[in-house]
Amino acid sequence: MALTLTEAAKLSNDVVLQGVIETVVKDSPLLQRLPFINITGNAITYNRENAAATAAFYQVGDSWAESTPTFTQLTTSLVILGGDADVDRYLATTRNNVQDIEAAVLELKAKSVRHKFEETFISGDTGVDPKSFDGIAKQVIAGQTITAGANGAQLTLALLDELVDKVRPGRPDLLLMSKRSRRALNQLVRASGAFMETRQNDFGMFQEYYAGVPLGVSDFLSDAETQGGASNASSIYAFQFGEGRLTGLQGAGGLQVEQVGALETKDAVRWRIKWYTNVAIFSDLAVARLKGIIP
């Protein structure tokens, strides 16, 4: 069963781990909604549907045509994401009256892990870094990609509606965009005489919605993509999460925090945050991209 990191944290009695997961999830609209499947072993093999089976009407005595769906078998392997953080014992002993140094160091390391995951989720390329995984920009298929213009074009509500309709069946669970694209969308909605719907999420922060679909802003979506002759383009992504759709993958232990122990060469204790993870697109129709958006 797929669980979000927030829900998984509730199942742990490890206060340090719960704090790290909260730090990872709190400021990320993507990780707040992306579910993860725990897998045993180091990879998962699954079938992605290529073409659906067909059906037809028949008269009595007609010969029936056989039709079955076709699939492509894919294997996605877990990769290792993480880092070490050293807590100086002198600072931990003498400065705890101001704040918990250990907690502060782990929080900063957790943020760096989140940043790396989000960056790779969007633009990861194993051709550049074979230790990482391919991001959504590389995995989304041509049939699920909308180009605003040969040399880029400004965002329109019609283009965004087309992007929403690309995800099927049903509707997207998240529209992910850059801050510049969100500003452009807000201007379009206000110009139409309407206002963006806003609701408070589980972390007490206000989140905007377009046509009932939550909006997420990522600092890792570039506004300097190349589209034809334009070098200042950006993309908006639509995602549908869940088993059989788009999910994260992780090892059975999930996100882990462990104390490595005292160091020999300096007066410090080392902590390690590690995550055996990846992303799986079980259905091509669960992800869509609108690219070539220029100011």
Tell me: pLDDT of 55 over 70: yes
Q: Give the C-alpha separation, 277 to 33, whole Å.
A: 16
The pLDDT value recorded for residue 97 is 62
Q: Give the C-alpha separation, 188 to 194, whole Å.
A: 9
The pLDDT value recorded for residue 128 is 97
The pLDDT value recorded for residue 137 is 96
Q: Give the C-alpha separation, 260 to 25, whole Å.
A: 24
Average pLDDT on 104-110 reads 89
Q: Give the C-alpha separation, 7 to 241, whole Å.
A: 15
Tell me: pLDDT of 1 over 70: no
The pLDDT value recorded for residue 5 is 86
Q: Which domains does the chain have, with CATH numbers?
A: 3-49+73-293 (3.90.1690)
Neighbours of 239 (CB within 10 A): 22
**What is the share, in percent, of the chain residues with pLDDT greater than 70?**
98
pLDDT tens digit sequence for 234-278: 999 999 999 999 999 999 888 999 999 999 999 999 999 999 999
pLDDT tens digit sequence for 8-17: 777 777 888 8
CA 52 to chain centre: 27
DSSP 139: H
- pLDDT tier at 95, thresholds 50, 70, 90: confident
Q: Give the C-alpha separation, 175 to 183, whole Å.
A: 14
The pLDDT value recorded for residue 17 is 85
Three-state DSSP class for 280? Answer: strand
pLDDT tens digit sequence for 153-186: 999 999 999 999 999 999 999 999 999 999 999 9
Q: What is the pTM of this model?
A: 0.90
Average pLDDT over the chain reads 92
Tell me: pLDDT of 38 over 60: yes
The pLDDT value recorded for residue 2 is 78
Tell me: pLDDT of 98 over 60: no
Q: Give the C-alpha separation, 254 to 274, whole Å.
A: 9
Cite the beta strand spans of the chain per DSSP E. 3-4, 35-39, 43-51, 70-77, 79-88, 145-147, 174-177, 197-200, 206-210, 213-217, 225-227, 230-239, 246-251, 256-262, 268-281, 287-293
Q: Give the C-alpha separation, 216 to 28, whole Å.
A: 8
The pLDDT value recorded for residue 184 is 97
Weakest mean pLDDT among 19-28, 121-130, 221-230: 19-28
- pLDDT tier at 99, thresholds 50, 70, 90: low
Query: Which tokens hold the place of 30?
Result: 């993507």
Q: Supply the Cα-derived Rg of the chain in whole angstroms.
A: 22
The pLDDT value recorded for residue 15 is 83
